[in-house]
């Protein structure tokens, strides 16, 4: 037969949780629950610290990548301007050659 669980309202009540299974009454003491809660809070705090450090690292990485992207965008614009200048110069030279052929 399965045991029944009895829950009490306060963490510090002596009869907070009882498991009355076939092997007898088993009591969870408030200090044990408090210690368990403390451990869970410590783990959560460490996880938050780790996540904040990772966030900071990723933010720095994002800023660096944005800076590199800006540099590359400027390079692309410069290369486009050079390409257009060369195209206009070639068109001008071809136009001059055509005038020489016509003469």
* Extents of the domains making up the chain: 5-102
Tens-level pLDDT at each residue, the chain (103 residues)? 455 554 455 555 555 444 445 555 556 688 999 999 999 999 999 999 999 999 999 999 999 999 999 999 999 999 999 999 999 999 999 999 988 877 6
Can you give the pTM of this predicted structure?
0.54
Both tokens assigned to 72: 């590359």
Is the Cβ–Cβ distance between 19 and 25 less than 8 Å? yes
Both tokens assigned to 14: 């002596």
Count of residues for the chain?
A: 103
CA angle 51, 55, 61 (to 5 degrees): 145
- Other C-beta atoms closer than 10 Å to the C-beta of 30 total 16
């Amino acid at each position: 037969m399965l045991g029944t669980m009895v829950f009490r309202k306060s963490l510090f009540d002596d009869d907070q949780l009882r498991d009355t299974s076939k092997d007898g009454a088993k009591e969870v003491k408030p200090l044990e629950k408090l210690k368990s809660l403390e451990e869970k809070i410590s783990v959560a705090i460490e996880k938050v610290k780790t996540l904040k450090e990772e966030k900071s690292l990723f933010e720095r990485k994002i800023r660096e990548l944005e800076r590199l992207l800006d540099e590359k965008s400027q390079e692309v614009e410069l290369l486009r301007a050079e390409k257009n200048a060369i195209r206009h110069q070639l068109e001008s030279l071809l136009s001059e050659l055509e005038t020489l052929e016509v003469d």
